[in-house]
């Protein structure tokens, strides 16, 4: 029997599509976790690469000329169980965050304050790729919502990491699967913690004397345990670029000043308390209230489909609270030395850091600006977004070799 026949027998020929290319390759759509397990066993027998595909927002990195089976999860899009008392939902990996939210919201529930752009992805894809964008200051990183993961290992065995009731059960293996890009296991489902839809939401805008003061104010509030659902800092040039020509007059900041927009949500008392914590942190750092419509527009752009000025930023740098200011300063300065003008906003705040999003203008060549600013970012202690820390690779390699001795599980993943 050919591989195509075996795949067809496992999941139905209608769900197996041969892909054009130099090497034998198929796109398959299993309808349930046992079918994924069967596909993995076939891959194992034939030593053929298995590449999970969610919505496919990130094109597969496997070489186009390498034999492979691309296993897409889109048919596995069911809610297995919704427990409205425990606020837990058990979903299959192929459901998108938005589809899940559509079911939760009418019940007064929500996955949390994650940007809709994140929720367009499948839950499997979101968990398989851990990035700073998948976090909310209020609800933490997306993987913090994970109470358990089901996955198929390279030999076709299925594991479920959720052990309930919660007790001391050794290492949390779900953590290893999150961010493993399908190299340690094919995620077929997850149990996620969900939330009540917030009773109140407030937005506010503030002008701060400098980026340093703005960063100081945000971390002062976070250290006081404020839990905003979103915060963003714009430098003066970025605020101009974002609000000039919009329905709201731009904040008219002096050069060097910064705009902070913040949203808080939850039970009214808590949302008010978070808002007040941020306001007093702003005052402590020498800031003042600005036009709240700026914050309303910011929130609508992220969460209600209001168009955001294009083009988007070209450089994204993650930095810790301690290095954030230096990263911003050094990159602006490096761009200036090439003859470019940098502008930036800072977003995705959590206790561990934030991401600075830069755009550049001027006549300098884009390559020269990129080289200079990327070097400056690294020298100032920042991480270019997408750069993976490789320090733990020996541990990871040992895990991969143990779990997947034939190297069939998304071999190009985590490259
Ligand atoms: C290294 C990397 C960095 C990225 N950085 C960002 C970022 O900073 N911000 C951002 O918004 N987006 C980022 N993305 C895009 C990211 O792909 C999407 O944000 C989202 O996670 C993908 O969801 P998806 O459903 O489209 O999955 P896909 O794009 O189809 O798949 C993404 C990756 O996850 C694997 N995968 C998918 N489903 C499963 C599953 N069920 N089990 C195991 N593995 C699976 C795929 O093989 C692939 O490696 C990044 C992607 C990668 C690979």
**Pocket flag, ligand 1, residue 148 (CB < 6 Å):** no
Q: Is the CB of 120 under 6 A from ligand 1?
A: no
Question: Residue 335 has what pLDDT?
Answer: 98
| Atom number in ligand 1 closest to CA 132 | 8
What is the value of pTM for the model shown? Answer: 0.90
Is the CB of residue 181 below 6 angstroms from any atom belonging to ligand 1?
A: yes
Q: Closest Cα to atom 8, ligand 1: which residue?
A: 131
Residue 132 has pLDDT above 70, yes or no: no
pLDDT: which is higher, 259 or 62: 259
The whole-chain average pLDDT of the chain stands at 93
pLDDT of residue 82: 98
Query: Does ligand 1 lie within 6 Å of residue 305's CB atom?
Result: no
Which residue has better confidence, 335 or 351? 335
Binding site membership of 318 for ligand 1 (Cβ less than 6 Å): no
CB of 240 closer than 8 Å to CB of 249: no
Tell me what pLDDT residue 165 has.
66
Residue 64's pLDDT band, with cuts at 50, 70 and 90, is low
**What's the token pair of residue 325?**
């200011």
pLDDT band at 274 (very low <50, low <70, confident <90, very high): very high
List C-alpha distances in Å: 198 to 105, 290, 317. Answer: 11, 25, 31
Q: pLDDT digit string (tens) for 296-338?
A: 999 999 888 888 888 899 999 999 999 999 999 999 999 999 9
Residue 260: is its pLDDT beyond 80? yes
Nearest residue (by CA) to ligand 1, atom 48, is 181
Contacts of 34 (CB under 8 A, 6+ apart): 158
Give residue 14's pLDDT band: very low, low, confident or very high (50, 70, 90). very high
Q: Is the pLDDT of residue 351 over 90?
A: no
């Amino acid at each position: 029997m050919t591989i195509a026949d075996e795949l067809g027998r496992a999941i139905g020929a209608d769900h197996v599509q041969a892909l054009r290319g130099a090497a034998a390759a198929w796109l398959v759509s299993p309808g349930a976790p046992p079918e994924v397990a069967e596909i993995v066993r076939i891959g194992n027998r034939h030593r053929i690469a298995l590449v999970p595909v969610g919505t496919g927002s990130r094109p597969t990195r496997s070489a186009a000329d390498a034999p492979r089976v691309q296993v897409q999860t889109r048919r596995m899009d069911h809610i297995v169980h919704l427990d409205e008392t425990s606020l837990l939902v058990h979903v299959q990996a192929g459901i998108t965050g938005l589809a899940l939210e559509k079911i939760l919201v009418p019940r007064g529930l929500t996955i949390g304050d994650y940007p809709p752009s994140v929720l367009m992805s499948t839950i499997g894809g979101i968990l398989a790729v851990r990035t700073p964008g998948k976090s909310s200051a209020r609800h933490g990183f997306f993987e913090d919502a994970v109470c358990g993961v089901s996955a198929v290992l390279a030999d076709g065995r299925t594991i479920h990491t959720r052990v309930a009731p919660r007790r001391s059960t050794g290492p949390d293996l779900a953590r290893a699967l999150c961010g493993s890009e399908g190299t340690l296991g094919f995620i077929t489902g997850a149990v996620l913690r969900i939330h009540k839809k917030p009773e109140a939401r407030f937005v506010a805008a503030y002008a701060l004397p400098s980026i340093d003061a703005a960063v100081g104010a945000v971390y002062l509030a976070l250290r006081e345990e404020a839990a905003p659902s979103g915060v963003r800092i714009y430098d003066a040039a970025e605020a101009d670029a974002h609000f000039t020509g919009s329905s709201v007059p731009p904040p008219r900041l002096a050069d060097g000043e910064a705009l902070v927009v913040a949203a808080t949500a939850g039970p009214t008392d808590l949302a008010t308390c978070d808002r007040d914590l941020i306001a007093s942190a702003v005052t402590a750092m020498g800031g003042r209230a600005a036009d709240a419509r700026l914050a309303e527009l910011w929130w609508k752009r992220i969460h209600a489909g209001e168009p955001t000025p294009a083009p988007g930023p070209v450089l994204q740098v993650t930095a810790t609270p301690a290095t954030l200011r230096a990263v911003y300063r050094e990159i602006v300065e490096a761009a200036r030395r090439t003859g470019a003008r940098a502008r930036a906003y800072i977003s995705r705040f959590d206790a561990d850091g934030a991401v600075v999003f830069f755009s550049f203008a001027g006549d300098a060549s884009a390559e020269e600006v990129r080289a200079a600013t990327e070097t400056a970012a690294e020298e100032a202690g920042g991480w270019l977004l997408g750069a993976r820390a490789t320090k733990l690779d020996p541990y990871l390699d040992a895990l991969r070799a143990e779990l997947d001795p034939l190297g069939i599980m998304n071999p190009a993943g985590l490259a």
